[in-house]
Each structure stands twice: as structure tokens, then as C-alpha cells.
């Protein structure tokens, strides 16, 4: 086994642009925002300072995987596998992505050190973008030189001591200012088990870097080789995974771009729709306000009209009352204070006046009412292209003027739905033109007043009401139709319910000979016969009515009800005729 250090150009050249080693630029902690100090790499590939991770609040998690969780650490490979059972572990949340991180047995300090971040911090400090580097040996003074052999950053004092030691006398020292163009000046990575030894080899069995002491000790029987010899194979594996992941990155970037485009389109669409809503609302509000002014003006006109009518009626009644009082007072004074002769002389004038006053017609009730209501559900037409609702209605339904209409008003069939219409009008006989009135309908048989028929009242919203019912038995029924507990015109009235319509069991034909196909035994209820032994009717022969008729009952109306009683005397052949 010889150390064959091959350059990594073959592996590095395969990496996509922008991902070359030492070019990550991760130098500041996302928590403290300062330069990384002992940066630790979390399983989610975010890097945080060790002290910052130690300040995070841990939580307890239960691990049922039977061993260590999937947390990469330098010391975890030396821990023995635990038995497969439920184990309580301590975890933290990544401060960047909130991913759960199961801490290894050694805690935060057992997590993997991010050596790339360490190198980036050193480069940034070297370029003068931050504070100076501290000597790796004394950890006190600023660095002046770097030992290329030991990969250690040294101050002036430690550099002199480094050269005086026999073992390090011939090590190459370089000024830090000469390293500003380098991409890597990281420290040597030491073995966590043997801190004095550098990790130079790789154990294939344990899949981890090891030092010489590890090879001669715990990994004695394991296949090991120098890192430079195995980097190509393991780098290719990582590269294959990277190539498999890169399309997902591109797809996700494309998806995010599409989301951004859609979000931009969504915002524009929302703004456009919002503008349409505002335009519509402003127009609608303007139309409603205009309709409001129109309704208020209409209401004021109604008030003025009704008030003028009341004032006129009031003035007429006051004048009539004054005339009545004058006549009464004068007549009383005449009868109580006048002499017989005075009464007889004045009697004619007083009687004439009183008779005239008694003949004056007047109404003891106000000539108008206060029946004014707002109907918000009624359509009021359009205003500026908008459908407007809400009308002021002064009409009041007058039950005495309401009319009942319909063919089934006074007739019905058992177990068949019958209906009629109520047309509501006001006191002037005008159609109401609106619905909403409380209509009471009751239909009861005369002989069974405790068994009313169920009725349905449908408000047509135009001043008419459709009333339907289904009587179960034949007989005479009484119908009450009331509005505001007052009977409408024509109520109550009676309805005669007849038995269910009887269909014709025969055929509607011109004659028996034609409908039966010339059968001699076929008969007809019209009573006609034909010579030659034919028992049914025929055109132009005796008894034929001369027009189409039913074979079962002889009726001429095709849609009439059958009156055949079905008695024993009726021959069965009346029902056997065949319709051609």
C-alpha cells in the first residue's frame, strides 16, 4: 500500500459550473450572522456554529429504528449498535429549514465538521474581509506565516519555534499574503480517535477516513487505501447521485418559475377583477341611490296626496258639523224660548234646513288609509342597465272584490287533483299585481266536517294564487276561501266530486263490421244490425247512428265517460270488437 496522490482534476471537471470546490462562499452563520466558529454540518446540509447549535432548545424523540439515526458524525462510527427497540433520543430543529436533527450520542460536538466552511472562513479572513487569523498553536497572536508541510497557520513567535525544532526545521514556510490567490488553505483534518494523526487513508469496510494508528489497530483486518487512490471511485458515486439530483433541481426551478409567473398573472387577474367589481359596485350603488331618491319622491307624493284628501275631507266634515250645530242650536232655542206663534212662523225655515242637513251624505271613516308598504323583493325594472328591486305599494286587497276562477271551481273527480285560481283586487277593482297575502282555504265534505281535504296554495307573486286539492271520496264539499278572515267574492261555495272517470272498455268505431273484420257475432251498443245474420251495426243499415261511436255504450264523444253498467244482460261480444 503506497501513497499515490492523484490530482482530483478528473473528478472536479465533471462538476457543474458554480459548484467547484472551495467556491461555496459559506462563511457566516445563519444564527449569529458572524463568521463560522467550529461549523457543524447538519443532515439537511445546512451549516451552523457549534455554540449556536448548543444554544438551541432540544426536544426528545423516540427512535424505533434499532440503532443510530441518520446523522452524519465523525464519532458515530465508533459507537456500538444498540438493540432494535424504542429508544429515546435528543433532537433539535435546523434553524434554517426547521428539519428535525437527531443528535448522536456525543451531542452537537459529534456532528460532522464542515471543513469547506472552515476553509472559506480562512480565505475570507486572509483577504482582509474580516478579522485576522489566530495562530493554530498559541491561539493568541495573529498569523503571519503558514507551514505548507503541517498545514498550520503560525504567528511570528511560533514560526521561530517551529523552525528551531529538529523535526520541523526543513518545513516550508509561506507568507500569508502569498496565499491570497489560493482556493484552499485549510488545516489538516485530524483523526477524532487519534488527535495527533492526520486522516490520510480510507477504510472500505467501514466507509470512513482513518489514520495510520487506526489501520494498525481497530481496522487491521479491513481493506484500506490512501484517499487519493479511492477518491475517483467514491467521487464517481457522488457524481452519479449529483447527476440524478440535478434534473430535480432544474425541474423545481422551472416549477418555481411557473409559480412566479402564475402568481404574477394571478395578481394581475385579481386587480382586473377587483376593478370590474369596483366599477360594477359603483354603478350599482349609483343606480340604487337614484332608485332610492325616486322611491322617496314617490313616497312624498303619496303622503301629499293622502294628506290633501284627508284635509279636504276634514274641511267638509267641519263645515257640515258647523252647519249641523247651527241648525240644532237654533231649533233648540226656538223650541225652548219661542212663543207658540214664533214657533209656527219660523217652523217652515227650520224644518227645511234640518231636512236638507239630514239628507247630506258623508263618510264617517277617513277617505284614505295608511296602507303604505315597501316591497323589497319586487322587481322595479332597470336603472342604468342594472336590475333594481324594491317598490312602494299602496294597494290593499279587498276580499269583496277578489274573484275565483277555473274550470274545476264547482266540479272534481275523486282521487284526481282539482284546482282553481284566486284573483286578488283592491277596493277600486284593480288587480293587486303582487303576492304576499295570507290566504286561508278550507275544503270539507258536508257529511264529514271533521275530515277536511288537504289544500295547497301557490303564490304566483302577481296577485293570483293557484289553489289545488285532491278529494279522496265522491260527494258534495264546501269550500271556504278567506283573506284577512273575510270571505272573498263567491265564498263559501260547493263542489260536487264525482267518481273517478270510467274509461271505455270497447272501441270507438264507425261500425261493427269494419272494427271486427266482418265477424257476424260482434255486437254494438247502438243496437244496429245487418242482414245475413250479422248481430252488429253496419253503414246504412238498420239502427246505425250514422256517425262514429263507442261500441260499449254508444256515445258519440270519443273523450266521454263510459256509461255502460256492465250488467249481465250486456253481451260480452260488445267488448270483443277489434280496432282495425
Q: What is the pLDDT of residues 101-136, one digit of tens each?
A: 888 888 888 888 888 888 777 777 766 644 556 787
pLDDT of 34 above 90: no
pLDDT of 300 above 90: yes
pLDDT of 12 above 50: no
Q: In what order do the strands lie in the sheet with 201-203?
A: 208-210, 201-203, 224-226
Residue among 521, 522, 530 at smallest CA distance from 551: 522
Is the separation of the CB atoms in 469 and 453 below 8 Å?
yes
Q: What is the pLDDT of residues 467-517, one digit of tens each?
A: 999 988 888 999 999 998 889 998 899 998 888 777 888 899 999 988 888
Q: Which residues contact 61 (CB under 8 A, 6 or more apart)?
A: 88, 89, 90, 91, 100, 102
Residue among 123, 183, 129 at smallest CA distance from 153: 123
Tell me the three cell numbers of residue 551.
261500441
Buried/exposed 498-527: b ≥16 CB within 10 Å, e otherwise? eeeeeebebbbbbbbbbbbeebeebbbbbe
pLDDT attached to residue 363: 84
pLDDT attached to residue 312: 93
Which residue matches cell numbers 263490421? 513
C-alpha distances (whole Å) from 531 to each of 513, 514, 542 are 12, 15, 9
- Kindly report the backbone phi and psi dihedral angles of residue 488, in degrees, each rounded to the nearest multiple of 5, phi listed first: -80, 175
- Kindly report the backbone phi and psi dihedral angles of residue 349, in degrees, each rounded to the nearest multiple of 5, phi listed first: -70, -45
Mean pLDDT of 310-314: 92
pLDDT band at 576 (very low <50, low <70, confident <90, very high): very low
Q: Measured over all CA atoms, what is the biggest interatomic distance in the chain, rounded to whole angstroms?
A: 173
Q: Which residues contact 444 (CB under 8 A, 6 or more apart)?
A: 451, 452, 453, 477, 478
pLDDT attached to residue 276: 94
pLDDT of 6 above 80: no
Rg (the chain; Cα; Å): 57
Residue 495: count of CB within 10 angstroms of its CB: 21
pLDDT attached to residue 178: 67
pLDDT attached to residue 291: 94
Residue among 423, 373, 370 at smallest CA distance from 398: 423
Tell me the three cell numbers of residue 102.
437527531
pLDDT of 279 above 60: yes
Is the separation of the CB atoms in 506 and 574 below 8 Å?
yes
pLDDT of 256 above 70: yes
Tell me the three cell numbers of residue 444.
270539507
> 415 or 579, which is more confident?
415
- Cα angle vertex 225, ends 220, 227, to 5°? 130
Residue among 187, 201, 110 at smallest CA distance from 143: 187
Asked whether the whole model's pTM tops 0.85, one would answer no
For a pLDDT cut of 90, what percent of the chain falls above it?
25
Pairing of strands 411-413, 493-498: parallel
Mean pLDDT of 61-86: 45
Second-level CATH architecture of 399-498: Sandwich (2.60)
Residue 286: count of CB within 10 angstroms of its CB: 13
pLDDT attached to residue 566: 64
pLDDT attached to residue 127: 64
The residues spanned by each domain of the chain are: 229-358, 399-498
| Three-state secondary structure call for residue 182 | coil
pLDDT of 20 above 80: no
Mean pLDDT of 147-167: 82
pLDDT attached to residue 487: 92
Which residue matches cell numbers 426551478? 253
Q: Report the distance separating Cα 194 and Cα 185, nearest Å.
A: 23
C-alpha distances (whole Å) from 21 to each of 148, 152, 232, 290, 351 are 19, 20, 15, 75, 133
Is the separation of the CB atoms in 568 and 542 below 8 Å?
no
pLDDT band at 301 (very low <50, low <70, confident <90, very high): very high
Amino acid at each position: 500500500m503506497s501513497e499515490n496522490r492523484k490530482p482530483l482534476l478528473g473528478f472536479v471537471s465533471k462538476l457543474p459550473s458554480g459548484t467547484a470546490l472551495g467556491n461555496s462562499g459559506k462563511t457566516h452563520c445563519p444564527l449569529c450572522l458572524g463568521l463560522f466558529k467550529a461549523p457543524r454540518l447538519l443532515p439537511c446540509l445546512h451549516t451552523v456554529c457549534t455554540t449556536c447549535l448548543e444554544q438551541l432548545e432540544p426536544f426528545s424523540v423516540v427512535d424505533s429504528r434499532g440503532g443510530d439515526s441518520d446523522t452524519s458524525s465523525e464519532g458515530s462510527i465508533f459507537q456500538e449498535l444498540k438493540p432494535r427497540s424504542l429508544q429515546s433520543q435528543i433532537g433539535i430543529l435546523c434553524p434554517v429549514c426547521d428539519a428535525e436533527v437527531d443528535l448522536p450520542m456525543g451531542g452537537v460536538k459529534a456532528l460532522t465538521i464542515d471543513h469547506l466552511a472552515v476553509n472559506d472562513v480562512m480565505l475570507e479572513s486572509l483577504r482582509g474581509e474580516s478579522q485576522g487569523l489566530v495562530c493554530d498553536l498559541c491561539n493568541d497572536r495573529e498569523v503571519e506565516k503558514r507551514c505548507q508541510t503541517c498545514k498550520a497557520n503560525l504567528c511570528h513567535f511560533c514560526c521561530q519555534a517551529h523552525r528551531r525544532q529538529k523535526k520541523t526545521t526543513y518545513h516550508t514556510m509561506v507568507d500569508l499574503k502569498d496565499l491570497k490567490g489560493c482556493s484552499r488553505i485549510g488545516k489538516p483534518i485530524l483523526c477524532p480517535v487519534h488527535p495527533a494523526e492526520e486522516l490520510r487513508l480510507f477504510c472500505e469496510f467501514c466507509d470512513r477516513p482513518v489514520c495510520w494508528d487506526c489501520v494498525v489497530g481497530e481496522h487491521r483486518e479491513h481493506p484500506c487505501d490512501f484517499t487519493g487512490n479511492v477518491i475517483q471511485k467514491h467521487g464517481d458515486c457522488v457524481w452519479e447521485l449529483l447527476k440524478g439530483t440535478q434534473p430535480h433541481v432544474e425541474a423545481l426551478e422551472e416549477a418555481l418559475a411557473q409559480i412566479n409567473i402564475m402568481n404574477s398573472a394571478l395578481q394581475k387577474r385579481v386587480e382586473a377583477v377587483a376593478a370590474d367589481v369596483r366599477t360594477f359596485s359603483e354603478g350599482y350603488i349609483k343606480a340604487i341611490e337614484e332608485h332610492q331618491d325616486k322611491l322617496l319622491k314617490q313616497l312624498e307624493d303619496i303622503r301629499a296626496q293622502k294628506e290633501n284628501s284627508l284635509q279636504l275631507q276634514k274641511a267638509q266634515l267641519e263645515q257640515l258639523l258647523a252647519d249641523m250645530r247651527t241648525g240644532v242650536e237654533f231649533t233648540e232655542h226656538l223650541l225652548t224660548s219661542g212663543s207658540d206663534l214664533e214657533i209656527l212662523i219660523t217652523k217652515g225655515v227650520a224644518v227645511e234646513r234640518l231636512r236638507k242637513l239630514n239628507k247630506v251624505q258623508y263618510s264617517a271613516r277617513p277617505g284614505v288609509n295608511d296602507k303604505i308598504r315597501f316591497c323589497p323583493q319586487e322587481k322595479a325594472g332597470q336603472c342604468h342597465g342594472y336590475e333594481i328591486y324594491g317598490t312602494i305599494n299602496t294597494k290593499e286587497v279587498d276580499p269583496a272584490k277578489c274573484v275565483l276562477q277555473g274550470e274545476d271551481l264547482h266540479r272534481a273527480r275523486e282521487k284526481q287533483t282539482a284546482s282553481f285560481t284566486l284573483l286578488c283586487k283592491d277596493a277600486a277593482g284593480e288587480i293587486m299585481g303582487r303576492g304576499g297575502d295570507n290566504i286561508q282555504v278550507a275544503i270539507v265534505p258536508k257529511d264529514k266536517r271533521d275530515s277536511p281535504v288537504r289544500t295547497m296554495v301557490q303564490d304566483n307573486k302577481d296577485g293570483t294564487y293557484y289553489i289545488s286539492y285532491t278529494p279522496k271520496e265522491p260527494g258534495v264539499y264546501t269550500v271556504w276561501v278567506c283573506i284577512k278572515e273575510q270571505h272573498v267574492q263567491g265564498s263559501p261555495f260547493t263542489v260536487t266530486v264525482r267518481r273517478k272517470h270510467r274509461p271505455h272498455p270497447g272501441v270507438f268505431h264507425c261500425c261493427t263490421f269494419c272494427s271486427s273484420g266482418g265477424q257476424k257475432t260482434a255486437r254494438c251498443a247502438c243496437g244496429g244490425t245487418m242482414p245475413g245474420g250479422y248481430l252488429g251495426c253496419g253503414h246504412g243499415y238498420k239502427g246505425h247512428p250514422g256517425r262514429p261511436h263507442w261500441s260499449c255504450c254508444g256515445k258519440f264523444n270519443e273523450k266521454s265517460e263510459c256509461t255502460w253498467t256492465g250488467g249481465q244482460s250486456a253481451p260480452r261480444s260488445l267488448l270483443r270488437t277489434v280496432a282495425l
